[in-house]
């Protein structure tokens, strides 16, 4: 949510800032703006809506000579998505942009109004600009003014700040919200995420909470809120610029679905040794799995659905009780965890605010934290005792696909390794399991190749406004993800239901206008699922079944049938998700939706 970019260096950067903002569109936003030094003043251009609106407003400014500027995409919280509320916000000497929420802004605003400041927006952010300006006038020192203001601001934030009297300098501040510094030759960058600067440099620093960076063309210095200097080693991005480009696909989402087989290989291969699932002792030691008596999984959105898959896998193979909690709900009650609990936190971005806050609560109870994260060095990774990374490269489309698939692949590996170290799975059985696991990339690739079949199904289902997904146990977990994918990107209302529960009320909603997608991949539950699908057929619903090969003959009565390749029951969510993703994708495409940036949604949710 919200994207921050900044540049200082030899290039003329007005266009660069706009292009950098485009690489962060995936984060979700509803207005955009830039501010840059030109001819001794700070020029600001802001526009509600898509970046294209900002670009149109910038037409005459795109080639102006400027070597330092900041840019922002805003996801509205305080005040609607208007030109005035877009960032950067300015005071007499200061212009700044902000990701996060200033909780005590009303109190600060009252103080500043009393001091004669006039507010032009409804945002919480404008108070920070005026407060820094107030202290700048008092001290005449840019950094000191920022620090004094920070000591008064309560809330979550990352800031990028420029001062009229100091062209060629950006002060970057990070508290809760992510901020990176891209380190170039004679130029430096500030950004919420790597795609904004990967075209220019692969060297970067991750700012940590409580750090301030002073960014100039040929130097970057870091201090804490008491001005103590901080030294840190740069990191190097391990993927290429092309990974953050569409590469000929019409949408990132489609590209990312197609990348799933290689992401699965990259994620799983380093965790297989001599044909057996084995984690590096540093990322996940065996004793942690052996000693686990009960597990709580904390996550949001699709990552929570990956948590559901993890629950069924671990409970089945390891006989260990697993609770899956939506992170925001977990936060709302006193936690019942102790130091004996293992908490698994799942997050693609590693920055989801609710997940991070839930992690901290669990940690405060003494629980051990294992996280499954995609973004290296992210907040969740840093706060965890152990981190297992999913190696999928950047995921740009708001609706997650390849990262979800990598998360559930890791979950099978954790379940299998846990069963082995607890003595519930023999070495031979683990070897067989591992061999089947390593077949997944190929099986997934065979499904991705069947895209035209799924597109044809999308044509049949795109006209409906309501849809039900049904499944039992692991298929129910997979249904939740299928349903979320569809509603996120196509705006079709859908519900995922535990199939046995349907007749307790909701079957009354089934009509010939409400089709049903049933998942039938779990061997012991197939007959029951078939009965449930017969029940909805009897209510005239159009029915699509996505099934394991052994269920095919039982399902001749359904309208549409997708037969998956054969795999053991535990691994089927990795297969069923591919048609679910591709059908949703093509339904959304047929309905003309903005697939990579669905309305109101954000990739990285950094507000509560």
User: Given the complex with ligand G6P, which of 303 and 320 has the nearer CB atom?
Assistant: 303
Q: How far apart are CA 214 and CA 196, in angstroms?
A: 19
User: Given the complex with ligand G6P, which of 93 and 331 has the nearer CB atom?
Assistant: 331
What Å distances lie between residue 54 and 34, 221, 420, 585, CA to CA?
Answer: 9, 32, 56, 28
Smallest distance from ligand G6P to CB 566, Å: 29
User: Given the complex with ligand G6P, which of 296 and 355 has the nearer CB atom?
Assistant: 355
Note if the bond before 265 is cis, omega within 30 degrees. Answer: no
Smallest distance from ligand G6P to CB 109, Å: 30
Q: Give the sheet arrangement for strand 41-48, strand by strand.
A: 41-48, 31-38, 68-74, 3-9, 187-191, 180-183, 203-206, 235-236
Rule CB under 6 A: say whether 310 interacts with ligand G6P.
Answer: no
Give the x-and-dash track for 278-307 against ligand G6P (CB under 6 A).
----------------------xxxx----
Strand pairing category for 155-163 and 94-102? antiparallel
What part of residues 376-415 is at the interface with ligand G6P (CB under 6 A)? 398-400
Residue nearest to ligand G6P (CB): 301
Smallest distance from ligand G6P to CB 587, Å: 17
Q: Which stretch binds ligand G6P (CB under 6 A): 73-81, 346-354, 412-420, 501-509?
A: 346-354
Count of residues of this chain found to bind ligand G6P when the rule CB under 6 A is applied: 16
125, 188, 349, 576: residue in contact with ligand G6P (rule CB under 6 A): 349
Q: Which residues on neighbouring strands pair with residue 160, listed in sequence order?
A: 97, 172
- Residues 602, 75 contacting (CB under 8 angstroms): yes
- Residues 402, 260 contacting (CB under 8 angstroms): yes
User: Given the complex with ligand G6P, which of 359 and 529 has the nearer CB atom?
Assistant: 359
Taken in order 426, 431, 434, 435, the sign of the CA dihedral is negative
Smallest distance from ligand G6P to CB 373, Å: 8
> CB-based burial of residue 447 (10 Å sphere; 0-12 exposed, 13-18 middle, 19+ buried)?
buried
Smallest distance from ligand G6P to CB 349, Å: 3
User: Given the complex with ligand G6P, which of 73 and 348 has the nearer CB atom?
Assistant: 348
3-class DSSP state of 260: helix
Output helix, strand, coil percentages for the chain, rounded to the nearest 5: 40, 25, 35
User: How many residues can be counted in the chain?
Assistant: 608
Give the x-and-dash track for 238-277 against ligand G6P (CB under 6 A).
----------------------------------------
Smallest distance from ligand G6P to CB 178, Å: 11
Q: Which residues on neighbouring strands pair with residue 163, listed in sequence order?
A: 94
Q: Which residues on neighbouring strands pair with residue 44, listed in sequence order?
A: 35
> So which residues are the catalytic ones?
2, 603
What part of residues 567-606 is at the interface with ligand G6P (CB under 6 A)? 601, 603-605
156, 192, 347, 483: residue in contact with ligand G6P (rule CB under 6 A): 347
Residues that bind ligand G6P (CB under 6 A): 300-303, 347-349, 352, 355, 398-400, 601, 603-605
């Amino acid at each position: 949510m919200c994207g921050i970019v900044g540049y200082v260096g030899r290039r003329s950067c007005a266009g660069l800032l706009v292009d950098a903002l485009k690489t962060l569109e995936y984060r979700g936003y509803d207005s955009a703006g830039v501010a840059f030094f030109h001819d001794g003043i700070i020029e600001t251009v802001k526009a509600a809506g898509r970046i294209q609106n900002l670009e149109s407003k910038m037409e005459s400014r795109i080639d102006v000579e400027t070597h330092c500027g900041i840019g922002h995409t805003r996801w509205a919280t305080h005040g609607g998505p208007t030109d005035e509320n877009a960032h950067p916000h300015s005071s007499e000497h200061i212009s700044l942009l902000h990701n996060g929420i200033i909780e005590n802004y009303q109190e600060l605003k009252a103080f500043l109004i009393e001091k004669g400041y006039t507010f032009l927006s409804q945002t919480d952010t404008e108070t920070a600009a005026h407060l820094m300006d107030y202290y700048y006038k008092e001290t005449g020192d840019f950094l000191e003014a920022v620090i004094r203001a920070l000591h008064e601001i309560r809330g979550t934030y990352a800031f990028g700040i420029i001062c009229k009297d100091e062209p060629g300098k950006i002060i970057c501040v990070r508290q809760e919200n992510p901020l990176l510094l891209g380190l170039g030759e004679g130029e430096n960058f500030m950004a919420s995420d790597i795609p904004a600067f990967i075209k220019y440099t692969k060297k970067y620093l991750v700012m940590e909470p409580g750090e301030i960076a002073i960014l100039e063309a040929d130097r970057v210095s870091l201090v804490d809120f008491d001005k103590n200097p901080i030294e840190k080693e740069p990191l190097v991005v391990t993927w290429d610029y092309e990974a953050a480009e569409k590469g000929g696909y019409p949408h990132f989402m489609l590209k990312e679905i197609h990348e799933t087989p290689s992401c699965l290989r990259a994620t799983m291969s380093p965790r297989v040794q001599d044909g057996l699932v084995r984690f590096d002792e540093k990322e996940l030691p065996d004793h942690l799995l052996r000693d686990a008596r009960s597990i709580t999984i904390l996550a949001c959105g699709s990552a929570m659905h990956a948590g559901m898959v993890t629950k069924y896998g671990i409970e089945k193979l390891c006989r260990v009780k697993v609770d899956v909690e939506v992170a925001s709900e977990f936060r709302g009650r006193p936690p019942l965890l102790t130091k004996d609990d293992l908490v698994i936190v799942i997050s693609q971005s590693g920055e989801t605010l609710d997940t991070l806050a839930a992690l901290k609560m669990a940690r405060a109870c003494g629980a051990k934290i294992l996280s499954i994260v995609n973004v290296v060095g992210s907040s969740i990774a840093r706060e965890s005792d152990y981190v297992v990374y999913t190696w999928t490269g950047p995921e740009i489309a708001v609706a997650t696909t390849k990262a979800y698939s990598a998360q559930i692949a890791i979950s099978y590996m954790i379940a299998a390794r846990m069963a082995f170290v607890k003595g519930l799975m023999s070495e031979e059985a683990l070897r067989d399991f591992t061999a089947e696991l390593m077949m997944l990339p190929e099986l997934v690739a065979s499904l991705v190749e069947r895209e035209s079949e799924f597109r044809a199904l999308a044509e049949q289902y795109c006209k409906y406004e309501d849809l039900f997904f049904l499944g039992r146990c692991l298929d129910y977990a997979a249904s939740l993800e299928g349903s979320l994918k569809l509603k996120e990107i196509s705006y079709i209302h859908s519900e995922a239901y535990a199939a046995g529960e349907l007749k307790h009320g909701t079957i009354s909603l089934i009509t010939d206008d409400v089709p049903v997608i049933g998942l039938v991949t779990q061997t012991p539950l197939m007959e029951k699922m078939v009965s449930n699908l017969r029940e909805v057929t009897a209510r005239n619903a159009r029915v699509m079944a996505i099934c394991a090969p052994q269920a095919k003959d039982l399902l001749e009565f359904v309208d549409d049938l997708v037969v998956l390749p054969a795999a053991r029951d535990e691994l089927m969510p990795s297969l069923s998700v591919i048609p679910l993703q591709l059908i949703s994708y093509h339904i959304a495409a047929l309905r003309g939706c903005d697939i990579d940036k669905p309305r109101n949604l954000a990739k990285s949710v950094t507000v509560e």
